């Protein structure tokens, strides 16, 4: 999918500062180049495509869940190394920016279900935690008991 310069500018301006910095980072470009070289991908055009897909993830154009599929399509000749390249890019390039990417792609933990107190049926009473604590306090005697193991002092 192609985007105009205005669309790219609008997307770029809406990015968090850490992702803006990552888009222009020479270190990230070098890291991607090194990862590709170590896994047998020496073709510069393929490395550039891998870099562009990674930048598309940073811009929100490619969802991180689709990243592996995109790399597999690009690196069809290097199918075995495509998984390793994807894994290492996720680990060393995308993971440090995990929170920013999660905000950008609206990824978050699944909502935890809230426990609801069961409703009592007619004729039955459900005891609450407060009632249990009150009953326990009432059962505890408040008066002091005499210690039967001590001898009286004369």
Residue 65 lies in a domain: yes
Higher pLDDT: 120 or 77? It is 77
Residue 82 lies in a domain: yes
Per-residue confidence (pLDDT) for residue 6, from 0 to 100: 86
Q: What is the Cα–Cα distance from 71 to 29, expressed in whole angstroms?
A: 16
Per the structure, the count of domains in the chain is: 1
Residue 99 lies in a domain: yes
Residue 6 lies in a domain: no
Residue range 90-108: mean pLDDT, rounded: 83
Q: What are phi and psi of 148, to 5 degrees?
A: -80, -10
Per-residue confidence (pLDDT) for residue 154, from 0 to 100: 66
Residue 74 lies in a domain: yes
Q: What is the Cα–Cα distance from 55 to 3, expressed in whole angstroms?
A: 14
Residue range 2-18: mean pLDDT, rounded: 83
Residue 39 lies in a domain: yes
Q: What is the Cα–Cα distance from 62 to 69, expressed in whole angstroms?
A: 10
Q: Domain of 84?
A: 17-105
Q: What is the model's pTM?
A: 0.64
Residue 142 lies in a domain: no
Residue 32 lies in a domain: yes
């Amino acid at each position: 999918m192609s985007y105009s310069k205005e669309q790219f500018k609008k997307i770029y301006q809406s990015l968090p500062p850490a992702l803006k910095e990552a888009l222009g980072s020479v270190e990230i470009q070098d890291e991607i180049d090194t990862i590709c070289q170590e896994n047998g991908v020496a073709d510069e055009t393929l490395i550039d495509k891998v870099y562009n897909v990674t930048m598309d993830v940073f811009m929100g154009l490619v969802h991180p869940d689709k990243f592996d599929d995109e790399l597999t399509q690009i690196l069809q000749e290097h199918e075995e190394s495509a998984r390793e390249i994807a894994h290492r890019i996720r680990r060393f390039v995308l993971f440090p920016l995990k929170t920013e990417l999660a905000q950008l792609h609206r990824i978050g933990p699944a909502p935890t279900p809230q426990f609801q107190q069961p409703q009592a049926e007619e004729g039955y009473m459900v005891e609450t935690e407060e009632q249990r604590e009150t009953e326990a306090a009432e059962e505890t005697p408040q008066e002091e008991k005499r210690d039967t193991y001590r001898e009286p002092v004369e």
